[in-house]
Amino acid sequence: MKKQIAIRDVALAAGVSTATVSRYLNGKFQSMGENTRLRIEKVIKSMDYKPNDVARSLRSTKSNTIAVILSDILNPYSIAILQGIEEACAEFGYTIFVCNSKESPLKESEFVEMMMAKRVDGFVINTTGGNDELIVNLAAEIPVVLVGRKISKNGKTVNSVSIDNFQGVALAVDHLLEKRCNSLILLSPPTNRISPRIERVGAFLALTSQANLDNIKSDVHIIEKIQIDRVAEVLSDIFEKKNSADSLGIIATNGILSLAVLKAVKQLNRTIPADFLFIGFDDTEWSSVTNPSLTVISQPTYQIGAFAAKKLITSLLQNNENIDLESLELPVQLIARDSTIN
């Protein structure tokens, strides 16, 4: 490991003070002689000097670093968001720490603490839903933007970018009704305190209880743990209770669950759309090649990440002043494929 050269060495070699080199590094050329600038430039190049960001951060109290805390890094949804964040950050010279809380509020809170200790400039969080108060307080100290999942605590909210879940469920329900389903079922993971799950279940209940749908049966099934066997059990149950005249339509509220449904259906030797029509959430890259191809509610995942990062960086550049609290909800769309052909 060769000796690190420091700003002092550059200053010495260029015959100026470290203050002047520092000004050069920070692009304050207007208050600097051209000769000086050129001299420093040359010395830096010839010595191959690289400023130490740790020292810069300590002094300037900004690190050009953002913490991204994901609830489930394996979810394709999270990855697309992460990519959106990464690209927006790279564009503005920000670097991202990535943390995976695995839906554990404890881990999430530990990550928040670790990241604060590392003096990140801001947070993008896909929260577990179990740290509302912590996050509301965090947002009072440092810029925070939530993605996918919103929170509120004691009447306070935090910046967020998510989707219009009511619209998503409405598109799905309407599509199934158009396809003449008369029995609708929503499959959801436990809602816990996770806003999109609550909103989707709520929307489904609201939509199916409309007066003009008297002749339509509907039900919500919560899948406690997303395992093929468990999903298969739930589906068996549904088939058993099903009236032979019923035309069944099922909606799964996220991509992982959709996948589990496909696997469970296979295990049960059932077929979609023969046994039921099926709509999933999230247009993953594989949605079009499954058997059958999947009708989905497509979410603008990449945009969610990109918008969140840009919002955050804007706050940062404006010193977190007069930033209006914002809850952005992006529209979704339905992509019809073979799983809802009847």
Partner DNA sequence: CTGAAAGCGCTTACAG
Binding string to DNA for residues 9 to 48, with x set by CB under 7 A, is what?
A: ------xxxxxxxxx-xx---xxxx-xx------------
Q: How far is the CB of 83 from its own copies (least distance, A)?
A: 6
Three-class DSSP category at 20:
helix
- For residue 331, what are its two tokens? 């529209």
Q: Which is nearer to its own copies, 236 or 291 (CB)?
A: 291
- In 3D space, the residue among 55, 57, 65 whose CA is nearest the CA of residue 121 turns out to be 65
- In 3D space, the residue among 144, 68, 157, 160 whose CA is nearest the CA of residue 312 turns out to be 144
Q: Which is nearer to its own copies, 239 or 286 (CB)?
A: 286
- Subset of 17-56 contacting its own copies (CB under 8 A): 50-55
| Contacts of 91 by beta carbon, 8 Å cutoff, 6+ apart | none
Q: Are 16 and 39 in contact (CB under 8 A)?
A: yes
Using the structure block, give the residue that is written with the tokens 């002749």.
Answer: 215
| 319 binds DNA, rule: CB under 7 A | no
| Contacts of 115 by beta carbon, 8 Å cutoff, 6+ apart | 67, 69, 97, 99, 123
Q: Are 223 and 257 in contact (CB under 8 A)?
A: yes
| 142 binds DNA, rule: CB under 7 A | no
| 215 binds DNA, rule: CB under 7 A | no
| 64 binds DNA, rule: CB under 7 A | no
| 285 binds its own copies, rule: CB under 8 A | yes
Q: Which helix (H) or strand (E) holds 279?
A: strand 277-281
Q: How many residues bind DNA (CB under 7 A)?
A: 30
* Choices 92-100, 161-169, 179-187, 229-237; region in contact with its own copies by CB under 8 A: 92-100
* CA gap 81, 134 in Å, rounded: 23
| 117 binds its own copies, rule: CB under 8 A | yes
| 154 binds DNA, rule: CB under 7 A | no
The one among 2, 4, 211, 269 contacting DNA by CB under 7 A: 4
The one among 42, 46, 47, 55 contacting DNA by CB under 7 A: 55
Three-class DSSP category at 113:
helix
| 7 binds DNA, rule: CB under 7 A | yes
113 binding partner (options DNA, its own copies, none; Cβ < 5 to 8 Å by kind): its own copies
Identify the DSSP state of 191: -
Strands (E), 6-121: 65-70, 95-100
* CA gap 71, 291 in Å, rounded: 29
| 156 binds its own copies, rule: CB under 8 A | no
Q: Which is nearer to its own copies, 51 or 202 (CB)?
A: 51
Q: Are 316 and 121 in contact (CB under 8 A)?
A: yes
Binding string to its own copies for residues 250 to 279, with x set by CB under 8 A, is what?
A: ---------x--xx--x-------------
| 182 binds its own copies, rule: CB under 8 A | no
What are the phi and psi torsion angles at 27 (to 5°)? 70, 25
Q: Which is nearer to DNA, 5 or 79 (CB)?
A: 5
19 binding partner (options its own copies, DNA, none; Cβ < 5 to 8 Å by kind): DNA
| 152 binds DNA, rule: CB under 7 A | no
Enumerate binding residues for DNA (CB under 7 A). 4, 6-8, 15-23, 25-26, 30-33, 35-36, 49-52, 55-56, 58-60
